[in-house]
A and B are shown apart, each in its own frame.
Chain A
Amino acid sequence: MIIAESKPILELVHQLSGRRRILLTGCACCVAECAAGGEREVETLAPLLRLALKVEGHSLEILTKTVERQCEWEFVEELAELIPQADAVLSLACGIGVQAVAERFPEIPVYPGVNTTSLALREEPGLWAARCQACGDCVLGETFGLCPIARCAKSLQNGPCGGTRKNGKCEVDENVDCVWNLIVERAAAKGRLESLLRIRQPKDWSNSHHGGPKRMLREDLRP
């Protein structure tokens, strides 16, 4: 899922200072799963924001609405009746949702309430960790189902750097597994260590952001 984290409340207060009535909108999809921008977070944030702005001497009225998915037009449309009642929108959706709302309602300023950070998996309750970087050239078939692009701090493609700690963690973060250590362990367990001897050529990054903003066109699905 797409992972996001709440922005510091002071940053939100700064953004919204001078507004009188805002629409605080959540998304019930990924950001709800990672507890950053679902209905619960929307309803918790609203009174906090009101209070924080009051301390600063501003009185703010907050309308709230959480839609199923802010990244799909039909759900974004559900905000249409509330938009005219507000003078700004604070969206707790990922960057895609924020932009969808801003695109659909160009007449009103839309602010992000979260920072979108990664494509991640919930490893344990309360712990999410990156699994994919949307590089556009998936190598998982050759790396025993473990992604060296997203999970190696240097996105190395031919094995671990010299920075694997004794306990198999990454030198960059003692809490993060060296993914190449995991890949080697899995390869060894399957008796296929030698498959990692093949030299992977420089990657073609052009099917991701590096090729310019990505567009995917499917003629078979066009109207």
Chain B
Amino acid sequence: MKLRSGSRLERVLAAGHFAVTVEVGPPQGPNPEVIRRKAEWLRGVADAYNVTDNQTAVVRLSSIAGAKLLLEAGLEPVMQTTCRDRNRIALQSDLLGASALGIKNCLCLSGDHQKASASGKLKGHPGAKNVYDVDSIQLLAILQGMRDQAVQASGDPLEQPAPFFIGAAWTPLATPESFRTLRLAKKIEAGADFIQTQAVFDVARFAAAVKKAREMGLCDRVAILAGIVVPRSARMLRYLNERVPGVEVPEELIRRMEAATQPAAEGKKIAKELIEAVRVIPGVRGVHLQAIENEAVLPEIIQSADLLPRPELNAEPARAASIRNR
């Protein structure tokens, strides 16, 4: 199999390894040291590092700049790109720029609505005008065209293709559940190479959704990385369960956190157990870890889940692909 981008994430998956990605949130300021510090904490613990794109619609250092800072630090980024703030002209321009900077993985998202920016302690920018010229599925198709046909959305040629490993999100347990697997199929059809899912806590229900995807043949066409959010408290789990669509937290997990004398330690243990549980689901080919503004706990969790050291990739791509195909 010919590699599409040659990114480390793509090669790890192609070689049949269980992949690990982690999320790195950019700062609400221009200080590159924040990203560099996180890079030092997280060096070597994952195959690639997601840089969020103004998540919850809160203004932060851009994902393209954050991704470049990670590259400079020797870490491979997954640049997250939302459809909220840019039209197809700006999106494609930024993607060309990102490719020129050496960014090879891109996760295509609809993005949080600007109203979300005012839901916490922040004033945010709820009065902002959103764009949504294209949606996440259309963005996937645009990336695929830029990579495989060297064309823009309009059909105009690019001087050369932009080799991205293309990612998409999947929220299998959100309403309407009957459509979620079909939407995954659409994302794969549009060009998704890998999937990072919404946070999994209810492993049984998640496994059932993956089984459905597998039966539709989708797991042969895309690498699913199960989303794992490191819980910090029972309150956080309750919030996720009640307020974040598509996140289903079993009551016993919440009670377990409530009973814990050291919730932080218990949360790490839960994260480890979740990793181990999703790892054995056929069709799940990696995990995507999020420790929101608490990234320093990730190395220990990944170590405890027996996912370190990350694989060395010295094999040339053709051989790596043949291993996977066996």
B112-128 at interface with A (beta carbon < 8 Å)? 112-113, 115-116
The residue on B at minimum CB distance from A155 is B132
Interface residues on A, range: 35 or more
B237 to chain A, nearest CB (A): 16
**A165 in contact with B245 (CB, 8 Å):** yes
Q: Is B69 an interface residue (CB 8 A)?
A: no
Task: Say which one of B98-106, B185-193, B257-265, B289-297 lies at the interface with A.
Answer: B185-193
A166 within 8 A of B: yes
Within 8 A of B (CB), among A175-214: 178, 180-181, 184-185, 188, 193-194, 196-197, 199-203, 205
Using known A-B contacts A160-B174, A172-B113, determine if residue A154 contacts B135 with beta carbons closer than 8 Å: yes
Q: Does B185 contact A162, Cβ atoms closer than 8 Å?
A: no
Task: Give the chain A neighbours of B88 by CB distance below 8 A.
Answer: 202
How near does chain A come to B241, taking the closest CB pair, in angstroms?
10
Q: Is the CB of A157 within 8 A of B138?
A: yes
Measured in the bound complex, the distance between the Cα atoms of B141 and A158 in whole Å is 12
Q: Which residues of B contact A180 (CB under 8 A)?
A: 176, 179
A173: min CB distance to chain B, Å: 8
* Chain A neighbourhood of B246, CB < 8 A: 162-164
Number of A-B residue pairs, CB cutoff 8 Å, is: 108
Chain A residue contacts of B142, Cβ below 8 A: 202
A153 at the interface (CB under 8 A from B): yes
Q: Is B189's CB under 8 angstroms from A199's CB? A: yes
**B150 interface hit (Cβ, 8 Å):** no
Q: Taking the complex as formed, is A156 at the interface, i.e. its CB lies under 8 A from any CB of chain B?
A: yes
Known: A161-B110, A181-B176, A185-B176. A197 touches B186 (CB 8 A): yes
CB-CB under 8 A from B245, the residues of chain A are 162-166, 171
A197 to chain B: closest residue by CB: B182
B132: chain A residues at CB < 8 Å are 154-156
Query: Within the assembled complex, what's the spacing in Å between the Cα atoms of A28 and B111?
Result: 41
Is B183 at the interface (CB under 8 A from chain A)? yes
Q: Are A199 and B110 in touch, CB under 8 angstroms?
A: no
B228 CB, min distance to chain A CBs, angstroms: 16
Complex CA distance for A193 and B179, rounded to whole angstroms: 8
Contact between B113 and A199, CB atoms less than 8 A apart: no
Interface residues on B, range: 35 or more
Q: A161 vs B179: C-alpha distance in the bound complex, in angstroms?
A: 11
In the complex, what residues of B have CB within 8 A of residue A166's CB?
Answer: 175, 245
Q: B235-253 vs A: 1/0 string, CB under 8 Å?
A: 0000000000110000000
Cα separation A167 to B174 with both chains bound (whole Å): 10
Tell me whether chain A's interface is mostly helix, strand or loop, or mixed.
loop
Would you call B169 and A158 a contact (CB within 8 A)? no
Give the distance in Å from the alpha carbon of A180 to the alpha carbon of B111 in the complex: 16
Nearest residue (CB) in A for B191 is A199
Answer whether residue B59 sits at the interface, using C-beta atoms and an 8 A cutoff: no
Other-chain contact of A202, B130, B134, B185 (Cβ < 8 Å): B134
Q: In the complex where A181-B176, A202-B134 touch, is A153 in contact with B153 (Cβ < 8 A)? A: no
CB-nearest residue of chain A relative to B112? A163
Are the CB atoms of B137 and A199 closer together than 8 Å?
Answer: yes
Decide: A160 and B135 in contact? CB cutoff 8 A.
no
Q: How far is the CB of A12 from chain B (nearest CB, A)?
A: 22
A184 touches B113 (CB 8 A): no
Q: Are A193 and B182 in contact (CB under 8 A)?
A: yes
Q: Across the interface, do B141 and A199 meet the contact criterion of CB distance under 8 Å?
A: yes
Q: Digit string of B36-69 for contact with A (CB within 8 Å is 1, else 0)?
A: 0000000000000000000000000000000000
A162 engages B174 (CB within 8 Å): yes
Is A159 part of the contact surface with B, judged by Cβ < 8 Å? yes
Given the complex, which residues of B lie within 8 Å of A185, measured CB to CB?
176
C-alpha spacing A160/B115, complex, angstroms: 17
Query: Within 8 Å CB of A200, what residues of B?
Result: 138
Bound complex: CA of A185 vs CA of B177, how far in Å? 11
Nearest CB of chain A from residue B151's CB, rounded to whole Å: 13
Chain B residues whose CB sits within 8 angstroms of the CB of A162 once the complex forms: 110, 169-171, 174, 198, 245-246
Known A159-B179, A159-B183, A184-B179; 14 more pairs at CB < 8 Å? A158-B137, A158-B183, A160-B175, A163-B245, A164-B175, A166-B245, A172-B115, A181-B176, A184-B178, A188-B176, A193-B179, A193-B182, A201-B141, A202-B138
22 A-B pairs within 8 Å (CB atoms) are namely: A153-B113, A154-B111, A155-B132, A157-B137, A158-B135, A159-B179, A159-B183, A160-B176, A160-B183, A161-B110, A162-B110, A162-B169, A162-B245, A163-B113, A165-B245, A168-B175, A168-B176, A171-B113, A184-B179, A193-B179, A197-B185, A199-B190
Q: What is the interface of chain A, defined by CB distance below 8 A to chain B?
A: 153-168, 171-173, 178, 180-181, 184-185, 188, 193-194, 196-197, 199-203, 205
8 nearest A-B pairs in the assembled complex, by CB-CB distance? A162-B171, A158-B137, A161-B110, A184-B176, A164-B175, A156-B135, A184-B179, A159-B183
